[in-house]
Chains A and B, each alone.
Chain A
Amino acid sequence: MEFLNPWGLLGLLAVPALVALYILKQKHKTLTVPSLLLWKKTQTLMEASTPWQKLKKNLLFFIQLCTVILTVLALARPAFSSSSVSDEIIVIVDSSGSMQAKDGSDGKTRFDRALEEVSDIADGMRSNQRLTVITAGSTVSPVISRADSKYEVKRALEKLECGFSSSDIQNAVLLAESMSDGMESCEIIVYTDSELLTGENGPTVVNVSKSRKNAAILSVSVSGNMALSVAESFGEEKNVTLELLCDGVLTDARKVTLEKESPLPVYWKDIPAGASLITVRIAGDDILDADNSLSASVGADDGKRVLIVSESGFFLEKVISAVTAFDIYKATPENYNADGGNGYDLCIFDGYVPSVLPESVPCWFIGPEEAPPGIVFGSSIKGTVLSPASSPLCRELGEYMNLSSVMIARFREILSSEGWENAFLCGKYPTVLAKKDGDRALVTIAFDIHDSNLPLLKEFPILIQNMVSYSLPVMTEGDGVYEIGYNLTVKRLAYSVSTEVICPGGEKLPLHITDADDTVLLSSPGVYRINQTLERKDADGTKRSVVSGYVISKLPSGESAMEGAGILEGNAQTEKNDRRGRIELWPYFAAAVLLLLTLEWWVYYRENKL
């Protein structure tokens, strides 16, 4: 046993002081009696009858003496050193989303419990002991390395926050094992809620989970005025109330029974027109709140306008309406005036090139009689199959296409195409070209689609989709729903001058994507709103508009199910073991002092009948 604060033993000087005080403070009422003969016999009888009488007389003194001694011992901080605990301890704390589950009766999360246990280890560190803490979330990061001060460890622990992503325990263990190389005695302890397979060798796994009874919204999707949500309960059958919110307004609610481990689809009808964001949530308490709510954005393409200038643009109209949700407007070359294209998001000129192109609007020229600006047409040439040009543009426009299946009867020879980039060739002649005119995209197809088999092929809608993506890039890829931890690439829209991302917590992140795409790490569940401010010039001057998009960030499904994160060799530990290298005794002494003080009060009360 050692004393961590030996100066505290100076308090033992209070013992003789107490004895002196006790001797001085004794006040007996002096009474003269004829003789002590009978009183001495009385004393003898009392002592014989109650052996503790003498002690009882001084009971208060002994209690106070014990109180002083125990207080001094508590101040001196006596401690036992445990030789069974390694000199080096590496602690891995799982910081995945499921660690935020409040599955205990104390209202603490699993992560909090894990940190408390680490804090206990830090409290019991010996002088020659070192502690390393590693968090295992979406990334593995050492929090503190080989700290020998519990205060240093605690300061680091206070800054730790639990994430929402899945955890990478295996990599964390690999890192810990690498760190432990060369150490004489090192113990690796993993605090996690994952059900890991364990073995004889390897780290000690401490499972901090107490329950996996969790309900979650797994997915939400919207189509037209219908929405579909899928909910599931893990660990138990559960009756829940599902609520539907449209743009934050409670619109509908259902009571459903979620069977154990059985996803339940729930259809929601009559989604209000114009709603941009719907949210389905589970009302009531649940051990994990992060997966109780999930949103879906209503089509991002909705509201965009496309103008088709064509004599007979039947195929184009059908294919565009099939691959997009654009509002389609049609015009003929005759009734198309000079500024007729302004105000649209895309202008498609089929067999026609206007004398003046609309300002700041992407334009497609399909089988034009006259050459678009920058292109010089030659004669009409008999065509063959399409082939890719060796340019990046080909990969962008020809993605997922089998060009060899596209046959062209004839096309216009292009003699000169300054500033244009070839996408597809027919033989050695370019047939599909595109270029960026500032922020505006221009695409030229040098053949009439009626002179090809494109309308009959699946490549036709693919080509149109690729052209739409090239001309009207969207801010994000995919369906807009991502798991937490995903690095979302935000693309710059045409004419965008500024971009900001509003996180679920309301925090605004300005992005600098003027020159290149930027990424946002989705770190918390909820809806990320991306606003891009567009600045377009037309005949009336410069117009500013804001285009908003939603990105839904959700908890990884494994975290909701609270399944094991992987397989790890180690020693399973279900009960809390004492891993303190040094066990301090002062709390026990302090508790004894409190008890003694209570006892002293009771004795004093009894003797003096307060």
Chain B
Amino acid sequence: MAERIFDEAFMKRLENLSVRFASPVTTSYGGGRRSNARGSTVEFYNFREYNQGDDFRRIDWNAYGRFGKFFIKLFLDERQLSVHLLADTSASMNFGEPTKHFAAMRLCAAFAYMSVRSQDRVSVMSLSGGGSVSVGGSVGSMPAVCRLLEQLEALTPEGETDLAASVKSVRDIRPGDGITVIFSDLMSEKGYKDAIDYLLYMHEQVVVVHILSPGETAPELEGQLRLTDSENGAFCELTAGTSSLAFYRQALDAYRKELEEYCMKRGVFLLSVRSDEDIAAILPSRGFRAGIIQ
């Protein structure tokens, strides 16, 4: 029986974690996230002079006694956060042991679980072929999460992905309504920058989970090779050896560095994950250090 992406043990290790959202939530639904709206929570925010039409019950009589004026106490409101989980399901994700796709689904499930526990609304989108497909719809409860998990497990990686086009095709994202997490290897010919820029343009807090397989971080190849791209069938020939692998590592390091700098400059949170790593261990450690998990 294949390993499940989410089980009880995994769930228990995530129980005390939640996805960190840095700015106040601006959505209109009530939830568990602090927002700039004034509401009826117990958390005091400020005083304001009474205006005609205000509820008498909110007048602070102690302040009236001291100053002779009517003041009203304001309290913060808590709103529901929209969490958009965008999972790359292109063919390139189907590599590694376990596959990057498996790691992406596992992370996706973890983020969905943590978000629902924080009373956030989660939507999962499968990115493939320049488009996006909603997986499980909008999820806001644990039973819905369980259904989501089953649907995540049913996803198979295939086809080519144009990350930017796929991200732009997601209709659920409204400006400033929450956080968007991209699970991808970012190995797209057209790059990842347009996708991130688009999300930033939509005032989303962007989290990029960059997933690579061990075969990509430290390939063990030798001899005359014809390398075929898993997504578009393109190929290149090279003689793999000590020197060529050293150049590969150099190219990978440069790619990672460029990604880090790009994300840092734009306030995008980046979490680099290897597909064979323990996801449940990564989130409270590296995820916390990256400012993604709290």
Contact = CB atoms under 8 A, between A and B. Distances in A.
Contacts of B224: 26-29
Interface string B204-237: 0000000001011000010111111111001111
B230 A32 contact: yes
B250 to A, nearest CB: 6
A28 B93 CA distance: 25
22 contacts: A27-B224, A28-B225, A33-B95, A33-B215, A33-B228, A33-B229, A33-B230, A34-B93, A34-B185, A34-B216, A34-B231, A35-B92, A35-B189, A36-B229, A37-B188, A38-B251, A39-B227, A39-B238, A41-B255, A42-B244, A42-B248, A42-B251
A56 to B, nearest CB: 9
A31 interface: yes
Nearest to B226: A28
Contacts of B144: none
Contacts of B213: 34
A36 B234 contact: yes
A38 B244 contact: no
Contacts of B226: 28-31
Contacts of B95: 33-34
**Which of B215, B248, B251 has the most A CB atoms < 10 Å from its CB?**
B251
Contacts of A43: 236, 238
Nearest to B243: A46
Contacts of B247: 42, 45-46, 49
A37 B227 contact: no
A53 to B, nearest CB: 9
Contact of A36 (B93, B221, B235, B252): B235
- How large, as a class, is the contact surface on chain B? 35 or more
Interface of B: 91-93, 95, 100, 185, 187-189, 213, 215-216, 221, 223-231, 234-239, 243-244, 247-248, 250-252, 254-255
A124 to B, nearest CB: 48
A43 B234 CA distance: 15
A29 B223 contact: yes
A42 B255 contact: no
Contacts of A39: 227, 236, 238, 248
A35 B239 contact: no
Given A38-B252, A41-B251, A42-B247, A31 B189 contact: no
A33 to B, nearest CB: 5
Contacts of B187: 34-35, 37-38
Contacts of B236: 36, 39-40, 43
A32 B228 CA distance: 5
A42 B241 CA distance: 12
A41 B234 CA distance: 15
A79 to B, nearest CB: 42
Interface in A1-58: 26-43, 45-46, 49, 57
B98 to A, nearest CB: 14
Given A38-B187, A38-B248, 9 more contacts: A27-B224, A29-B224, A32-B228, A33-B95, A35-B187, A37-B187, A41-B251, A42-B247, A42-B250
Interface of A: 26-43, 45-46, 49, 57
B236 to A, nearest CB: 6
A32 B229 CA distance: 6
Contacts of B237: 28
Contacts of A27: 224
B69 to A, nearest CB: 66
B252 A35 contact: no
Nearest to B212: A34
A277 B109 CA distance: 123
A455 B230 CA distance: 136
A31 B221 contact: yes
A111 B239 CA distance: 60
A31 B216 CA distance: 13
Given A28-B237, A42-B244, A46-B243, A35 B230 contact: yes
A42 B239 CA distance: 11
Nearest to B251: A41
A43 B226 CA distance: 13
A39 B215 CA distance: 12
Nearest to A29: B225
7 A-B pairs with least C-beta separation: A35-B187, A34-B92, A28-B226, A41-B251, A45-B247, A42-B248, A36-B229
Contacts of B254: 41
Contacts of A26: 224
A511 B250 CA distance: 100
Contact of A31 (B188, B228, B243, B250): B228
A192 B164 CA distance: 93
A199 to B, nearest CB: 70
Contacts of B92: 34-35
A29 B227 CA distance: 8
Contacts of A57: 239
Nearest to B100: A34
Nearest to B224: A28
A30 B101 CA distance: 23
Nearest to A49: B247
B268 to A, nearest CB: 20
A45 B238 contact: no
Nearest to B241: A607
